[in-house]
Chain A
Amino acid sequence: MSHMETSFYQQAAQAELEKIHSAALTPRARMAITVQDMPCQDPEVRRHNMQEVAIGYTREQAMLEAERCLQCKNAPCVAGCPVKIDIPGFIRKVKEGDFTGAGQVIKQTNLLPSICGRVCPQEKQCQLPCTVGKALGGVDKAVQIGRLERFVADYEREHGLQTVPHAGPSSGKRVAIVGAGPAGLTCAVDVRREGHDVAVFEAFHKAGGVMVYGIPEFRLPKALVASEAGLLESMGVQFEMNFLVGRTRKLSSLLKEDGFDAVFIGTGAGLPKFMDIPGENLVGVFSANEYLTRANLMKAYEIGKAGTPIYPSRRVAVLGGGNVAMDSARMAMRLGAEEVRVLYRRTREEMPARAEEVGHAMEEGIIFDFLASPTKVVGDDKGKVAGLEVLSYQLGEPDESGRRKPVPIRGSEHFVPFDTVIVAIGNESNPLISRTTPDLHVDRHGHIIVDEKQKTSLDRVYAGGDIVLGAATVILAMGEGRRAAAAINEVLQ
């Protein structure tokens, strides 16, 4: 598809809006409305800059897209949302042009809509069960809930309409939140609303967790994350930065000596996983965590300004098929690589990445080598990466999950030259807190074991997000933070 300017979408939406009379629309007529595409930066331009790729709906597009919603009584979309936003409710407001009202509906259950609207895998959550998508035979035809959510949140912020959630009267109780990522921030808000004092302890120098170190600027602008964290500060949430619980202070000391009545652990992803193939410690092999942290949090792309260097790459291999792999590949492209290839052992259908990100990566010229996986990183005489030995796969019989299993093709090993390899196959858990907190139970992967209320094996200690789930998503982490907050608020009553 050729690239279209925002004005094109706006005019098309305007014309279509003028033709319809909202109140009189039959479900059939609603379903006939064109799905509103997301205006984006031109791929040829954006592959060389860090600015946000998706520009966001115009108000005409948002109102037209909102007309596609059938306002189903059973609201299957809400069941698909990890934080149970009243989706038909906010879409109704958008349809009426009451964007502020729409924002208020969303804010009842989600304080970070500008983030969720951008990074949630909607096609696997709210948009998957959407009646419209089902009727039209594809999830890509579902009502574009995520894009609408983003529109509403951006409208609110851009028009200075953001309101600070109200903190209840002081309860005299204190809650420590470990980690300022999506789980921790969500938990902090909900606990603070009840009037408890909240201190967030963060090891990095900026709040946001994966939203600042991992997800790139071109997908989630950092100013936006800072603005959301700022809202928390306005609520009276205290941030203690550069503080590593487990090292700067033990978890048990927070409870026993520092007077905290409850603790929430949301420390996120830990040690990066590697492929366990020869040559992975060669110069030029990076975990996606390292590569993205250099580029995002440490701003290595601002060459000349940033103290943190980024490896000069020409030919980059990214191993993995998730969002982090897409982010790494697209970042490498923006940092000046000539060729970026994503190697994935299965096919596009099985890729866990958000569909939109895969599409964007393809548009930007990232090459996908499906049914391929490296067996060895080959080095040169200086200990630097020279390339990969790659084994090809074919799809065999379906496995227990019903997916056709990739089977290696014997003798298909071949050499592909690369100077950089980015490994994006997930994370182990960070061992710091569990090692320094003897009675905290973890599973064999080091993930903290919690009950249905996110409570750990220790009294008054809760956990959620990637430290419990392994590598998951921002929204699932938020869902866990919210559940933990409810439990904490209950025990502190």
Chain B
Amino acid sequence: MLKLLRQSPLSAQIGMAIVLLNIMAAVFAPIIAPYGETSVVGDVWEVFSLKYYFGTDHIGRDLFTRMMYGARNTITLAFITTFLSFLVGSSLGFIAAVKGDWTDTLLSRGVDIIMAFPTLIFALMILSVMGSSIPTLIFTIAILDSTRVYRLSRAVAMDIEVMEYVEAARLRGEGLWWIMRHEILPNAMPPLMAEFGLRFCFVFLFIASLSFLGLGLQPPLADWGGMVRENAGAITFGIYTPLIPAGAIALLTVGVNLIVDWFLHLSSGLHE
């Protein structure tokens, strides 16, 4: 494992450094952050200084502190959502592949219908009906996103399902769950892991967009997308505060993408 890390290309190392930095910020937010998440400490939109590393936001809260807590809230939310989406999407995908027949048809048509909607519009409509709360956000995005996971895991499982060892397990009389857990899942792991990175980026951007539209995490919780929205007015005065959270979102997605690229390269077995 260590050897593999040392051999990784520069791009992947940069990606890992970015992701690690973000995770550290998220985990140790209360320790690193000099002020409280919601406490007003200075004037509106103060510039960078030793007192406020990133300046202050639209009501005088320390932006650095908000960034740390924002990392914690946004990344945790995106991670939970992606995890849930994989749990639902890959189980359904495996079931469709192993069971085949009408189960497959029914699930696939259902997924086709959800995918016929533009994702953002679907999410907006659900949020308008249910109201925006953290559980609603997680479930809505997880279900919308699980359709993509379903497509991939079904395709991957279809390839594995025709293998002799799956046939052997079937003849032994193993049940559906056993086959999915012990035969299909281990072999489907590499493509699914790469997909996890990509889906995480997508979910993370999606949550950030919803928060930016004011429909994601609600204030006073710190959240990067929401922080861009709150400070957006500053840009017309030549104050670049909103670019900091927006840049952090961009940086993390680029970082994850760099790792995923390396991973795809590794698992495709291509070597230079």
Instruction: Answer yes or no: do A and B interact.
Output: no
